[in-house]
Amino acid sequence: MNGDTTNQASRITNHAVAVIGGTGMNQWPGLAIERRVALDTPYGAPSAALLEGTVYGVRAIFLARHGEGHKIPPHGINYRANLWALHQAGVKSVIAIAAVGGIAPWFLPGEIAVPSDLIDYTYGREHTYSDGSPSSELHHVEFSEPYAPRLRQRLIDAAKAAATPLAGEGVLAVTQGPRLESVAEIRRLAKDGCDMVGMTGMPEAALARELGLDYACLAVSVNWAAGVQGIGDIHAEIAQSIENGMAKVRAVLARALPTL
Ligand code: HPA
């Protein structure tokens, strides 16, 4: 890695695009890092320094959602600081990479999808900037489409252009974690209309909306959710499929980023 660490947001030129990487993408090997920006925010520190650089000929920022050593659990992530820092850095579009369990029969491990909607089952997370503090204002942001349609379409088009077919679109269930779900819980999520399940999609998407950022998700199925294909060794499944799925993510990003 090259470049110095700085804590000055003002030194970042206006970057349009950020990628938040999660499990399986704690680093972005293609990104030529020029600067690490360790920001503080009114909500505390983000998960990691923002890594600023160039990838596929485009200026971009990468943020490791679970921290550099992948130690921060989904419910312990400071989502407010993460999104605030990206906003402060001049980011306009955020692509969130999320490892998920497949619920719908079409979402096989190793496949990718661009969720079209979500259901939030998390609790106890700092989930809004409208938190009643003296400096905050109350905003009821519109959330009928949690993901920015234009950015979603760019990801869908990029998958086509990269000849990396999407398994589908579908609804993401966001659970609290860090434990995986029971078979009955997954049955309930399926009844609710969920096609995949992950632990970090909220409040990330809602906070991005509150800040006016375009936000879309590229989901990677890394296992069958509990009970969908019987009861197996989920961790072994994840180990087997994650690299395959992440290679597809990189192929889609390579096509998507230059179009943003
Ligand atoms: N459930 C919730 N989150 C996940 C899963 C899962 O099965 N796999 C990867 N993230």
Condensed to tens digits (0 to 9), the pLDDT of residues 142-175 reads 999 999 999 999 999 999 999 999 999 999 999 9
Atom of ligand 1 nearest to the CA of 226: 7
Alpha helices in 101-224 (DSSP H): 149-161, 183-192, 204-210
- pLDDT at position 10 is 46
Identity of the amino acid at 36: R
pTM of the model: 0.94
Tell the residue nearest (CA) to atom 6 of ligand 1.
Answer: 101
Domain containing residue 237:
4-259
Comparison of pLDDT for 234 and 216, the residue scoring more? 216
Condensed to tens digits (0 to 9), the pLDDT of residues 4-48 reads 555 555 445 556 899 999 998 988 988 999 999 999 999 999 999
Residue 111 reports pLDDT greater than 80? yes
Comparison of pLDDT for 29 and 179, the residue scoring more? 179
Both structure tokens of 153: 């379409």
State percent of the chain over pLDDT 70.
94
Residue 3 C-alpha to ligand 1 middle, in angstroms? Answer: 35
- pLDDT at position 5 is 59
Give the span between the Cα atoms of 237 and 215, in whole angstroms: 29
**Which mutation among 222, 238, 242 tests ligand 1's pocket best, with the greatest number of atoms within 8 A of CB?**
222
Give the domain CATH number at 119: 3.40.50.1580
Residue 109 preceded by cis peptide, ω within 30? no
Condensed to tens digits (0 to 9), the pLDDT of residues 67-87 reads 998 899 999 999 999 999 999
Tell the residue nearest (CA) to atom 2 of ligand 1.
Answer: 198
3-class SS shares of the chain: helix, strand, coil, % to 5:
30, 25, 45
Both structure tokens of 169: 């679109």
Residue 154 C-alpha to ligand 1 middle, in angstroms? Answer: 25
Tell the residue nearest (CA) to atom 7 of ligand 1.
Answer: 101
Give the residue-averaged pLDDT of 92-96. 97
Give the residue-averaged pLDDT of 91-102. 97
Give the residue-averaged pLDDT of 132-136. 86
Tell the residue nearest (CA) to atom 5 of ligand 1.
Answer: 101
Q: How many domains does the chain have?
A: 1
Atom of ligand 1 nearest to the CA of 74: 3
- pLDDT at position 13 is 53
Ligand 1 cavity residues, CB under 6 Å: 99-101, 175, 180-181, 197-199, 222-223, 225
Residue 2 C-alpha to ligand 1 middle, in angstroms? Answer: 34
Residue 190 C-alpha to ligand 1 middle, in angstroms? Answer: 14
Read off the pLDDT band of 234 (50, 70, 90): confident
In 3D space, the residue among 110, 93, 3 whose CA is nearest the CA of residue 53 turns out to be 3
Residue 110 reports pLDDT greater than 50? yes
Tell the residue nearest (CA) to atom 9 of ligand 1.
Answer: 100
